[in-house]
Amino acid sequence: MDQLLTMFIDFLAIERGLAKNTLSAYRSDLKEFFDFIKEKNIQIEELKKEEILAYIVNLKQKKRANSTISRQLAAIKAFFKFLQQEGIVIINPTSDLEGPKKQKRLPQVLSIDEIEKILEKPKNNNPLGIRDKAMLETLYGAGMRVSELINLDVNSINTDLGYVRCVGKGSKERIIPLGNQAILSLNAYLKGARNKLLKNPKEYALFLNQHGRRLTRQGFWKILKNYAQQAGIKKEITPHVLRHSFATHLLENGADLRSVQEMLGHVDVTTTQIYTHLNTNNIINIYKKSHPRA
């Protein structure tokens, strides 16, 4: 089973170009499944639908969330599809299995006023403050994932033409326009602050920590949390909240769904459609506040 798992993970990495975090999730989910069937003393080639259903029941008994069970079943289904393609199994026991329905949770978003309060907090009188301002403006201005932000290199941005080039999930590259505030902040950072943080001339990372190395996800998260606290924001703040806010504010101000999908780097437009629910909620709230008979 370990050998089959290695083959499958290699297939996902090479053929489908999945990110390391995604590969790690597949590996972890399948290892848990393997431990279950090892206890039952069942060979992969002999596995039937009933055993997989028993595993799902086992997960429910452990009080796993529906989203977790759906993810694990998706990993098992992908694994058996691969085994069938490779001729290792003849019948795919997962072909007609469906996971529990996921409960759609609307993402947390900040209002434009809350965003502005956070963006006002970094100080422009020291290199770290100038860097922080540039990072926050870029993350909110381009709607990137935090992993995409910290992986930017100096040559990833073009402030003259006003765009950023980033590599997202599955190593897919996309070009995102930058707003004037993000461009101004990035230029201020590049013209002096970055050089003051730089220790090694061969370091090409755009955003550097105080040791002159590429900033980490954890480092950025702490920075964002600190500014949110300074701004008096009581909501739970993560870097992804700025991404959700970016999409929501675009749609609320007339952007079309297809364009927002492109900027977010979503493969499927249905992933982006969750933001239309937020937009609908906003319309309902406006109606209730504005209509005399509401």
**Residues labelled catalytic:** 145, 169, 240, 243, 266, 275
- Rounded to 5 degrees, what are φ and ψ at 43? -85, 150
Identify the bridge partners of residue 226 per DSSP, sorted by sequence position: none
Q: Give the per-residue SS3 of 240-278.
A: HHHHHHHHHHHHHCCCCHHHHHHHHCCCCHHHHCHHHHH
H or E element at residue 165: strand 163-167
**Contact (CB, 8 A) for 121 and 227:** yes
Token pair belonging to 153: 């290199």
* Neighbour tally for 29: CB within 10 Å: 19
User: Coil, strand or helix: which one is 153?
Assistant: strand
How open is the CA angle 181-110-160, to the nearest 5 degrees?
15
Identify the bridge partners of residue 75 per DSSP, sorted by sequence position: none
Instruction: Say how far apart CA 205 and CA 63 lie, in whole Å.
Output: 42
Angle between helices 2-14 and 66-85 in degrees, nearest 10:
90
Instruction: Say how far apart CA 79 and CA 1 lie, in whole Å.
Output: 11
